[in-house]
Chain A
Amino acid sequence: MTDRYFLWMAFVFYVGASALTLWRLRSERSQSSLHHINVILIVVGFLMQLVGLILRGQNLHRCPLTNPFEVTVFIVWALVLFYLVIGPSYRVSFLGAFTAPVVTFILLTGLLTATDTPHTPALKHSPWIEFHAGIGILACGALALAFVVAAMDFVQDRQLKSHHPGPTFRLLPAVEQLDVIGVRLLMLGFILLTAGMIGGAISDKIVGPWPLPKVIWAWMTWLVYAALLAARTKGNWHGRRAAMATMAAFVFLLTTYWGMSWLAR
């Protein structure tokens, strides 16, 4: 069984979790048993994905971060990891239900697009490169979860503003709670992003320069998130505007990454 087999299996479990979400939204069911099924489906998907990544790593004899497909798969994995770590500590209801469709969509995009290109020759080994890649992926995972929380915040705000709260209203947490968690995730993501950039800059000196599009993309992403974080912590951005900006920032991160990778080819 190849690594892609396990990644497709992971996708199937994430689709199951997403289908359950849609059903819960339609039927307004919030029982803990359904929440547990949702978590189990996501955990199994996460483990399948882990097996897929390990198999690919064994074939490559290195961490599988050699092309946009692998990076996308890793970002999804990091997002689920953060959900599994952060979700229970904040006890955010319906976080898993919102995470599943996002994970499904990003993973499907990776699996179906022609981004699984032949591997680039291995860079000269440096622990700073490993550090840069690992921390960068974790940063993307935290920022992806901030996107999920912002989407929940946006939906809940719309429910409240509509004056006729729909089925999701009772299932979602308070807008203020989502706002606080969103800012914390952004802070965490930004700290990791900054640490990853420092690792990248050091490796640049040790093993040679990074391609220019990648450097520009990294700086643009860092600046977007720095501005967003400043607006949300110092500029009193709360609610809908903050949620939309957070979602836009992550869409920017993903699309510019994919665009930059395409350009680099």
Chain B
Amino acid sequence: MNLVIVGLNHCSAPVAVRERVAFPRAQIGEATCELLGAAPVAEVAILSTCNRVEIYALAADASQAALALRRYLHTYHKLTEPIDAHLYERHNQDCIAHLLNVVCGLDSMVLGETEILGQVKDAYAAAQTAGATGAALNRLFQKAFAAAKHIRSTTAITRGSTSVANVAVELAEKIFRDLTQSTVMVIGTGAMSEATAKALRSRGAGTILVCGRDRERSGALANQLGGRAIHYDDWPVEFPKVDIVISATASPHPIVTREKLVPLMKARHNRPLFLIDIGVPRDIEVACDELENVYVYNMDDLQQIAKENLAAREREINICRELIAERVARLAEWLEERYK
């Protein structure tokens, strides 16, 4: 018996192809059952995320099974044009290595991302529920989850955020002891400030105030974030209550200056203040950072940290691959022993 994968991912196929072959979550169980009958496979599991669609199978004849899986993808999704050029195939040891790389986030678009582990767990659970897994896939997936856990805790592959918005959240979590008690003020509405505010909200940020000259836009963003819109001229009034400021205006001059900040810091009893300056030209005067308990980060700072975090993750790749190689060898040996 042989292990086989047929699939595509963000490297092998553009989004236009990926979206055509993605399996809706609710239909994965049904498709798995169907596959058991349609292809010469003994065990099967379907993994479908926004960046990859992969079918894992155990079959007596790997080539025949791979061919049937390819055909199934075309038939199931009623594809008019062939997508074979975008599909890859892995057998036995390569198949094991591939899954371990996937669950550890080494094959992800954002290196080391952790969401994929949950998605693979869901795929495995769906296959189990459909009664499509047996000794081989059960062992393969369970060992892959254990490997991911081990690699996450012993290497720095998942450490540090790699997006500007998440870097800002990570910094906020090292300034404030409880983000749910924090008030965030967004000055100026733009894609980056929206993403940062959303990231803060997703980590539980308490109150969100959106302040802009365009009442309609700030109202819409406030609604989206579950916050409150305030008029641009009112921001100094609300400022003493605010813990985190995301500023992204088109103002040609700094809107927050050291001179303005000193009395405001007194009014807020010198509690820590996190100023995120996404505006170009900058909205927050550089001298504000000299004030005690005021932490000013601009776009360059955040991008630099994200870049350093990514570089740090990349430095861990070889360690991860070594750890994976040991496990792949053991699993391949087990598979060979069991099905020789």
Q: Complex: how many Å from CA A240 to CA B292?
A: 7
Q: Complex: how many Å from CA A92 to CA B199?
A: 25
Check B177–A164 contact: CB distance below 8 A: no
With contacts A160-B171, A172-B174, A174-B173 taken as known, whether A238 is within 8 angstroms of B293 at the C-beta atoms is yes
Report the minimum CB–CB distance from B296 to chain A (whole Å): 9
For chain B, the count of residues having a C-beta within 8 Å of the partner chain is 25
Report the minimum CB–CB distance from B37 to chain A (whole Å): 46
With contacts A160-B171, A170-B160 taken as known, whether A238 is within 8 angstroms of B272 at the C-beta atoms is yes
Check A176–B175 contact: CB distance below 8 A: yes
Q: Complex: how many Å from CA A180 to CA B178?
A: 12
Chain B residues lying within 8 Å of A177, measured Cβ to Cβ, are 177
Q: Complex: how many Å from CA A239 to CA B271?
A: 8
* B257: interface (CB < 8 Å): no
Q: Complex: how many Å from CA A239 to CA B265?
A: 13
* B297: interface (CB < 8 Å): yes
Range, interface on chain A: 20 to 34
Cβ-closest chain A residue relative to B155? A29
Check A180–B289 contact: CB distance below 8 A: no
Which of B160, B177, B269, B293 is the most central at the interface, judged by chain A CB atoms within 10 Å of its CB? B293
Q: Complex: how many Å from CA A29 to CA B154?
A: 7
Q: Complex: how many Å from CA A174 to CA B179?
A: 11
Interface string of A161-184 (1 = CB under 8 A from B): 101110001101111110010000
Interface SS majority for chain A: loop
Check B174–A174 contact: CB distance below 8 A: yes
Contact of A164 among B156, B173, B174, B305 (CB under 8 A): B305
* A156: interface (CB < 8 Å): yes
* B176: interface (CB < 8 Å): yes
Q: Complex: how many Å from CA A163 to CA B173?
A: 15
Q: Complex: how many Å from CA A31 to CA B149?
A: 11
Q: Complex: how many Å from CA A77 to CA B270?
A: 35
Report the minimum CB–CB distance from B106 to chain A (whole Å): 19
Interface string of B165-200 (1 = CB under 8 A from A): 000000101111100000000000000000000000
Chain A residues lying within 8 Å of B159, measured Cβ to Cβ, are 28, 170
Q: Complex: how many Å from CA A165 to CA B269?
A: 26
Contact of B270 among A156, A164, A238 (CB under 8 A): A238
Check B305–A28 contact: CB distance below 8 A: no
* B153: interface (CB < 8 Å): yes
Chain B residues lying within 8 Å of A125, measured Cβ to Cβ, are none
Check A169–B269 contact: CB distance below 8 A: no
Check B292–A176 contact: CB distance below 8 A: no
With contacts A156-B174, A239-B292 taken as known, whether A176 is within 8 angstroms of B297 at the C-beta atoms is no
* B295: interface (CB < 8 Å): yes
Report the minimum CB–CB distance from A53 to chain B (whole Å): 36
* A89: interface (CB < 8 Å): no
With contacts A28-B156, A31-B154 taken as known, whether A174 is within 8 angstroms of B175 at the C-beta atoms is yes
Contact of B177 among A28, A160, A169, A174 (CB under 8 A): A174
Q: Complex: how many Å from CA A174 to CA B172?
A: 8
Report the minimum CB–CB distance from B295 to chain A (whole Å): 5
Q: Complex: how many Å from CA A172 to CA B159?
A: 14
Chain B residues lying within 8 Å of A160, measured Cβ to Cβ, are 171, 174-175, 295
* A113: interface (CB < 8 Å): no
Check B269–A236 contact: CB distance below 8 A: yes
Chain A residues lying within 8 Å of B269, measured Cβ to Cβ, are 236
* B308: interface (CB < 8 Å): yes
Report the minimum CB–CB distance from A109 to chain B (whole Å): 32
Q: Complex: how many Å from CA A28 to CA B158?
A: 12
Q: Complex: how many Å from CA A31 to CA B150?
A: 10
Q: Complex: how many Å from CA A180 to CA B177?
A: 9
Report the minimum CB–CB distance from B309 to chain A (whole Å): 10
Interface residues of A (CB under 8 A from B): 28-29, 31, 156, 159-161, 163-165, 169-170, 172-177, 180, 236-241
User: What 9 pairs between A and B have smallest CB-CB spacing?
Assistant: A177-B177, A236-B270, A239-B293, A176-B177, A236-B269, A163-B301, A174-B177, A31-B153, A160-B295
- Sample 29 A-B pairs with CB under 8 A, ordered by A number: A31-B153, A160-B174, A161-B295, A163-B297, A164-B305, A165-B171, A165-B174, A165-B305, A169-B174, A170-B159, A170-B160, A170-B174, A173-B174, A174-B173, A174-B176, A174-B177, A176-B175, A177-B177, A236-B269, A237-B270, A238-B270, A238-B271, A238-B292, A238-B293, A239-B272, A239-B292, A239-B293, A240-B292, A240-B293
